[in-house]
Structure 1
Amino acid sequence: MAVPLQITFKGIEASPALEDRIREKAARLDRFERDILRCHVTVEAPHRHQRQGRLFRARLEVFVPRGDIVVTRESPHDHAHEDPYVAVRDAFDAVVRQLEDHVRRQDHRTSPNPPVLAHGRVARFVAGEDFGFIETADGQEVYFHRNSVAGHAFDRLHVGDPVRLSVTEGEKGPQASVVHPAGRNP
C-alpha cells in the first residue's frame, strides 16, 4: 500500500501475525480507491464478559480526499469476535463496501451531464410486431422495441409522432435504448 498505515493495539499485546494480516488487507484497499491518503487500524479488547471470552473490536479509519470512512466492528452477541482476526476481517469487509459506495457517489457527481437525447419521428411500425423504426433528425433509421418506450406508451405511438431517444449500437445496427414520446403531430 502506498499510503501510510498506522496500526494500534489497545488492551492486547501487539501480534506480528495480526499486524501482517492487517497489512495484507490494507494493501488491497487501493484496488477500490486509488487516492487513499492514510489508514489507521485499531484493534482492542475493550472489556471481558463474565460468561464468555474476550470480544475484540476493530476500528478502521480510511482517509480519502473527498471524505473519510470510519468503521467499527464490535458485536457483543457475535462470539466470532472472540477471535481478533475475525473482527479485523469484518471491519475490512465493511470498509470495502463503503469505499465502493463512496467511489460510486463521487463518480456520479463528477460524471458529465447525462447524454443529450436525440430527436426523431416514428417512421414506421412492423405490422403485428412489437417494434418499429424511428427516423432521427440527421436521417438515420433507428430500431426500437416496445420495451424501450418509456411509460409503457408503445401502443399510444403513431407514425409521425415526435420522440426523444437515446441511441446505442446494437448487433444489427443502431437501436434506441430509451424512447420518450414528445407529443403528437398537430
Structure 2
Amino acid sequence: MQIPLSITFRHIEPSPALEQRIRQSVEKLEHLYGRITGCDVVVEAPQHGPKKGGLFIVSINLRVPGHEIAVTGPRPKDHTHEDAHVAVRDAFDAVARRLEDHARRTRGDVKTHWTPPG
C-alpha cells in the first residue's frame, strides 16, 4: 500500500481483523484507481444506552488529485450494519462506486448532452 491511511476506532476497541480488512479494501481501491493520495477511515460503534444493539457507522474520506470522495453510513434501518465487518464492506463498496464514477469523468468517458447555443 502506497497511500497514507488513517484508521480510527470510536467507542470500540481496535480490532486487528477489522483493520486488516480495511487495509485490503484500500489496496483494492488503489488497483481500481492509482491516483489516490490519501484515505481516512472511521469506524464508530453504536453508543449503548438503554437499548442494546445499534448500527456501526463507517466513514471514508478518499482523496484524489483535486477532489475528495466521502461516504458515511449506515443506510436507515439496515440491520446488517450491527456487524462492523458488514458495515466496512458496504462503505467500501459505496466509495468504490463513487471512485469508478470519478475515474470515468476524468477519462472523459461520461457522455454529456449537447445543447444548442442560444
TM-score, with normalisation over the residues of structure 2?
A: 0.85
CA displacement at 1:75 relative to structure 2: 2.9
Per the alignment, residue 28 of structure 1 pairs with 28
Question: Which residue number corresponds to residue 47 of structure 1?
Answer: 47
Question: By how many angstroms is 1:25 displaced?
Answer: 0.7
Question: By how many angstroms is 1:17 displaced?
Answer: 0.8
Counterpart code for 1:72: T
Q: Deviations over 1:64-120 (max 9, x none)?
A: 0020000011134111000000110000000110000001111118xxxxxxxxxxx
| Aligned position for 1:5 | 5
For the 8 Å contact 1:61–1:71, the answer to whether it is kept is yes
Q: Are residue 15 (structure 1) and residue 15 (structure 2) matched?
A: yes
What is residue 106 of structure 2 aligned with on the other side? 106
Offset, 1:48: 3.5
State the match for 1:90 in structure 2.
90
More helix by share: 2
Whether the 8 Å CA contact 1:55–1:79 is kept in 2: the answer is yes
CA gap 1:75/1:51 in 2 versus in 1, 3 angstroms: farther
Bigger relative contact order, structure 1 or 2 (CA pairs below 8 A, ≥6 apart): 2
**What CA RMSD, in Å, does the superposition of the two structures yield over aligned residues?**
1.6
**Off by >2 Å, runs of 4+ in structure 1:** 46-52
The structural deviation recorded for 1:32 is: 1.7
Unaligned runs of 5+ in 2: 110-118
Give 1:45 deviation, angstroms: 1.6
Kindly tell me the number of residue pairs found equivalent between the two proteins. Answer: 109
C-alpha distance in 2 between matches for 1:31 and 1:102? 14
Q: Which amino acid in structure 2 is aligned with residue 66 of structure 1? A: G
- Verify the 8 A CA contact 2:46 2:53 in the aligned structure 1: no
1:134 paired residue number: none
Q: What percent of counterpart residues are identical?
A: 50
Structure 1, unaligned stretches of length 5 or more? 110-186
Corresponding position of 2:37: 37
Contact 1:46 1:56 in 2 (8 A): yes
Asked which structure has the greater CA Rg, the reply is: 1
Shifted more, 73-82 versus 5-14: the winner is 73-82
Amino acid at match of 2:87: A
The structure carrying a bigger strand percent of its residues is: 1
